[in-house]
């Protein structure tokens, strides 16, 4: 199954875009993407709720050590995106029959007390995997690993905010000044769709789907439908979403038409005349 792109799920979680019909259908049938989206929304919500906190005491060291332990345990599990490496030829321990516990690998605890500073300083760029005495790490399913990792990230974000307000903390969904559904234009296949939203911070957010492939690139325009005067806002990348800055004090009542065109690499800055999507902004 083709999962939704992680960047697309981030846009949905932050409220900067809305899922289209195809994405809603996929989310209805894909537990993995639903779990990832729920975890991202949880993290965004925690960040938004804690932005007003100021001058709170720093968490005690054992809190960071516990978080580092959980992150290290999650990182020691098999990757979700690449095949597992061949297992050692030595005989692996097997679980007692009937208890439903998966076979586990033997892991040796590193020297030291397993503090966060030691985990971060092993020279590999990753926390060192280890097991607590008398306890074996268990293999978990893919969706549960995603949930555990996302939860650990949420806890790190909240505790970091308690110590000092971070400038990169998630913000509440931006205010929308105007929006427009984008529909196929001219000879563009009818399944091509999109939507445009103008945020109060002066950015234009576009989400597009099923655009036909073109030999050049896609460009975004704002057009005055009365005079057909226009100016370029920017270029769409390879993803389905784009955030493009608008000129200061742009008159959206006049330049109310959003246009996505197919352009050639011909050093010509004018509109090609090949519009793929169009829609009219309304407040």
- Residue 1 placed within a domain: no
Contact 221, 279 (CB under 8 A): no
Both 185 and 250 in one domain: the answer is: yes
Residues 155 and 216 in one domain: no
Are 30 and 117 part of one and the same domain?
A: yes
Pair 192, 203: CB distance under 8 Å: no
**Structural domain of 92:** 6-163
In a domain? residue 169: no
Q: What letter would DSSP give residue 52? A: T
Query: Is 170 among the domain residues?
Result: no
Whether residue 115 sits in one domain with residue 26: yes
Query: Please, are residues 206 and 179 in contact by the beta-carbon 8 Å criterion?
Result: no
Q: Are residues 136 and 14 in the same domain?
A: yes
Does 189 lie in the same domain as 273? Answer: yes
* Domain termination site, one of 163, 193, 213: 163
What pLDDT digit, counting tens, does each position of 124-157 carry?
444 444 444 444 444 444 544 454 455 555 555 5
Q: Decide if 171 is inside a domain.
A: no
Question: Each residue's pLDDT tens digit in the chain (283 positions)?
Answer: 688 888 888 888 887 778 888 888 888 888 888 888 888 887 877 766 666 666 667 777 777 788 888 887 777 666 544 454 555 554 555 545 444 444 444 444 444 444 444 434 444 444 444 444 444 444 444 544 454 455 555 555 555 544 444 445 556 778 899 999 999 999 999 999 999 999 999 999 999 999 999 999 999 999 999 999 999 999 988 788 889 999 888 999 999 999 999 999 888 889 999 999 999 999 8
Can you give the pLDDT at residue 48? 67
Cα dist from 265 to 86, 167, 181, 216, 272, whole Å: 47, 39, 28, 6, 11
Question: CATH no. for residue 271?
Answer: 2.60.40
Claim to verify: residue 224 and residue 128 sit in the same structural domain: no
Domain count, the chain: 2
Check whether residue 16 and residue 151 sit in a common domain.
yes
- Predicted TM-score (pTM) of this structure: 0.45
């Amino acid at each position: 199954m083709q999962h939704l792109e992680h960047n697309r799920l981030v846009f949905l979680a932050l409220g900067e875009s809305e899922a289209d019909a195809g994405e809603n259908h996929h989310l209805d049938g894909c537990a993995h993407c639903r779990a990832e989206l729920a975890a991202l929304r949880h993290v965004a919500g925690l960040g938004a709720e804690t932005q007003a906190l100021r001058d709170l005491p720093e968490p005690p060291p054992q809190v960071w050590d516990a978080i580092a332990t959980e992150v290290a345990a999650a990182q020691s599990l098999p990757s979700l995106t690449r095949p597992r490496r061949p297992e050692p030829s030595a005989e692996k321990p097997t679980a007692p029959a009937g208890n439903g516990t998966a076979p586990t690998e033997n892991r040796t605890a590193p020297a030291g007390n397993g503090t966060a500073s030691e985990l971060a300083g092993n020279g590999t760029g990753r926390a060192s995997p280890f097991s607590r005495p008398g306890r074996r790490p268990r293999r978990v399913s893919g969706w549960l690993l995603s949930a555990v990792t996302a939860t650990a990230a949420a806890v790190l974000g909240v505790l970091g905010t308690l110590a000092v307000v971070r400038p990169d903390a998630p913000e509440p969904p931006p205010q929308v000044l105007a929006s427009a559904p984008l529909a196929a234009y001219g000879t563009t296949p009818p399944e091509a769709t999109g939507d445009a939203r103008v945020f109060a911070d002066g950015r234009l957010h576009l989400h597009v789907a099923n655009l036909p492939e073109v030999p050049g690139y896609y460009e975004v325009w704002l057009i005055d439908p009365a005079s057909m005067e226009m100016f370029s806002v920017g270029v769409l990348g390879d993803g389905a979403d784009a955030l493009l800055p608008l000129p200061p004090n742009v008159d959206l009542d006049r330049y109310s038409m959003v246009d996505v065109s197919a352009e050639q690499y011909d050093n010509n800055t004018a509109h090609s005349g090949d519009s793929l999507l169009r829609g009219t902004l309304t407040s």
